[in-house]
Structure 1
Amino acid sequence: MKLPRALQDVRTIEALLTGAEAEAQRAGDDLPGPEHLLLSAFGLPDGTARRAFERLGADPADFRAAVETAHRQALQYVGVTVPDNAGEFPPPPLGGVHRMTAPGQEVFQAAVKLSKATKPSLLRGGHVVAAVCGQEHGTVARALTALGIERSVLAAAAREALADR
């Protein structure tokens, strides 16, 4: 990998992980998970995550709403009621070492592995989309199901978005 590509990859990774932390904090979660990585990937400048969703006629904003509903339903299942007007949690200061949940780490590692298998080998949002589609359980799977999106179809759309570049 040439130095400019390595720098671009580092910048993308930093933006992805910092964005995932911000998404987790916004939701009141201690650590980012796969859903936060995907929400962060929608904001990456390469646009492949957004394009993958748009290829299916889906709106990334709908995914955010589906994640919030999945979180609320999971809490209600264990007897915790969250009011609809709970609002956003104040973010603690960002910085330092990036940490994630175990499923979040799995998705990040899978996305990096996918990026290394494509040319040019730069991490892009579409890699994150394809990686989260590999998870059968969890918030992302529930949110995609609620939106009527099949993970295998979304993964194919992500690969197409990556190939368009």
Structure 2
Amino acid sequence: MNRILKPTLFTMLIGSTIAAAPGVASAYNLVDKDESALNLDIELVLGHFSSGETYGNSDASPSWTEGYAKYGLSGSHSIGSGTLFGAVNALSSGTCGDGDALGVTNGDNDATELDLWVEWAAMDHLIISPLMGFYTPDSSASNQGNDDTNIYAQVIAVVPF
């Protein structure tokens, strides 16, 4: 019994350690002048997966890779008694290989999302934050064949005290 548990425990420890490791994220300060700042933001995450279970999938032992890259600009500028914060980010993600273990994705899925975010801290007790985004997936069974651009928007008003 110990002989069977050791490889399984070792495999679980290695897998947990790798899963807990962070992706690569970086922010490079382009401008930091007076009451203004502009940053270049980059984040990369990549993972490789496999499954001994196929759940009806025709592949004997499916394996696939998933990842995303988030890149864009963020900054702030003081205006009177308030501060204006903002960001423009693109998030590109994809899957390649056999797809998932169930076989829902074909392993050739990618999409890019564009987010536009602004926050205005007008004073100590009022923050207004609108967000607008655009998302265009590739056509696949996992998103029901929809490859139309989706637009979303929200406005949040915060009154901290």
Give the TM-score category using the shorter length.
Answer: under 0.3
Q: Which of structures 1 and 2 has the larger relative contact order (alpha carbons within 8 angstroms, sep 6+)? A: 1
More strand as a share of residues? 2
Bigger-Rg structure (1/2): 2
More helix as a share of residues? 1
TM-score, normalised relative to structure 1: 0.26
